[in-house]
Structure 1
């Protein structure tokens, strides 16, 4: 009978599968926004490794097992694809450093974080630098040279290179019907955000691969997607000017599939039991819709997940108490 693999090796393999599963979404983001996605990934990855190495040195711990387990790179990758492409270098570095320091190491490192590190870093820079976090480029972004200069702060990007996203436009819309928005606003595509709908489908494909590999269970992603679909269906009033968008629009716009398969499935900050994970995902889906519709930010995945992280102890206690009361 073979011996079980060490925990470090199992963690490294799981993180490797997660990184592999992000590849379709990364390629789709590059197709939509251009080289800015690669800039984000490189800056975030290098910063994550540097912060990880520095903290391990300060804590007098060996670099090799922890630095190679892939957890820092996974957090950096998820944060990088969530940030606007061509973000200034200091914004990406700040978000990543905050994610690793305040989302992971301040709690004791891998396996101890109560909050999703990537979403904590994202939320902190969103609150601190809202204007920079709203600068999403139009399709294909800008050229390689102009993009590098913009990221480095050497030169400003050309006028009109960034525009409102579909969620932005829908949130501030007061007069146009949904059909008119889809026909006239370049941010809208066939079903959701232009280009972003294909990004969501790409992350869905990566998420299904992780499900097939049993990296996580189906409970949290299904809970989030079913909840978001249901509440958006119940609140949908067709294509009127006061409509908040169809269920398909909400599923294929913003960071929905990234959140469902790569964020709410984070095992440490999530719930422990299958039923609690299902409720965790359902709560996140409901909060995403509420924040998108009536909140101050167009996409609510980060805040929804962080709020549900706060509720994990109560969810676990509720489910455990319910199971103790159930007849055996």
Structure 2
């Protein structure tokens, strides 16, 4: 008898949608943040983003074709998203050759070493970012001043979270929400990222459970600390509006492959990402903790799925 059963790896989309359609939907949602990065960082933002996309697409093609001996899947848009998100997680003055190494780590280690889309355990863009942060800490933490504030982009400037740790004078909340402060390309504007969230919720590309649970957890956790000790480093609004929290919560923690399948699991996943992020920001060695929090919880996703997936009819109760 002819075998009619077709088994494919995640992400499994049970609707009229397709993987490419949803991937390109995410790219549309990233447009506001990209346009804002062009306004704040100028031509460097465009060059870095295009280079990152090119590196990720080329590396995926060659690894698929010549190492894995499989049909390249670059047309599904996932490599493009990885390239954009990797660029959004680095400073605008990062040398291109370092970005190429990050792209190779993201695609080669974070994605293709597991077999490609649907088989990777960790978010590829975050694997690339963490690899670069550990390998090139000076270059990854040297932030150029926005070009709209300076005649040259060679002047270094501290991010909001760095200023918190140094007890420096903080920028206004409006500048943090609009995104005219130093930082990685895609993390500076909370408003631009929220527009992307609204679009993806409207198009049902993602659900609210992961991003909202992360943001609410961070807000409540820091608010409790702020009540007992009203210092700027505990201000929940500053934590929500600064750093890579919005970018991570909206575009990377929600990755189809590396996030839980059930709504209950998504909320648990988001809760712990929020808690870990705040702990690293306030008491860790790095001023930013979103990337580490998401990658850490990526590793727990199979366990979360195991304990939150509803029992099928007739299935025995899971032990533990």
Specify which of 145, 165, 171 is matched with residue 165 of structure 2: 171
Q: Report the counterpart of residue 8 of structure 2 in structure 1.
A: none
Q: Report the counterpart of residue 302 of structure 2 in structure 1.
A: 313
Does the Cα contact within 8 Å between 2:188 and 2:243 map onto a contact in 1? no
Structure 2 residue 173 is matched with structure 1 residue 190 = yes
Q: Deviations over 1:258-304 (max 9, x none)?
A: 11110110011111111101111111111111111111111111101
CA distance in 2, matches of 1:325, 1:171: 48
CA distance in 2, matches of 1:198, 1:71: 23
**Aligned residue pairs: how many?**
295
1:238 CA drift (Å):
8.2
1:8 CA drift (Å):
12
Structure 2 residue 103 is matched with structure 1 residue 85 = no
Structure 2 residue 69 is matched with structure 1 residue 60 = yes
1:214 CA drift (Å):
0.6
Which moves more between the two structures, 118-127 or 164-173? 164-173
Could you list the runs of 4 or more consecutive aligned residues of structure 1 that deviate by over 3 angstroms after TM superposition? 5-9, 141-144, 191-194, 237-240, 320-326
Q: Report the counterpart of residue 217 of structure 2 in structure 1.
A: 227
Q: Report the counterpart of residue 126 of structure 1 in structure 2.
A: 133
CA distance in 2, matches of 1:198, 1:278: 25
Structure 2 residue 284 is matched with structure 1 residue 290 = no
Aligned-residue Cα RMSD (Å) equals 2.8
CA distance in 2, matches of 1:209, 1:262: 12
Matches within 5 A, 1:1-328: 10-58=18-66, 59-63=68-72, 66-140=73-147, 157=154, 161-173=155-167, 181-182=169-170, 188-191=171-174, 193=176, 195-196=180-181, 199-237=189-227, 243-320=232-309
In structure 1, stretches of 5+ residues that fail to align are: 148-156, 183-187
Q: Deviations over 1:9-65 (max 9, x none)?
A: 8111111111111000111122222222112101101101110111122122233xx
SS of the residue 2:206 aligns to:
coil
Does the Cα contact within 8 Å between 1:204 and 1:258 map onto a contact in 2? no
Does the Cα contact within 8 Å between 2:52 and 2:99 map onto a contact in 1? yes
In structure 2, stretches of 5+ residues that fail to align are: 1-12, 182-186
Which moves more between the two structures, 268-277 or 30-39? 30-39
1:142 CA drift (Å):
9.3
Distance 1:11 1:204, change over 3 A: same
SS of the residue 1:162 aligns to:
coil
Distance 1:228 1:44, change over 3 A: same
Query: TM-score by structure 2 length?
Result: 0.85
Q: Deviations over 1:138-185 (max 9, x none)?
A: 1227999x77xxxxxxxxx4xxx1111110111132xx6xxxx23xxx
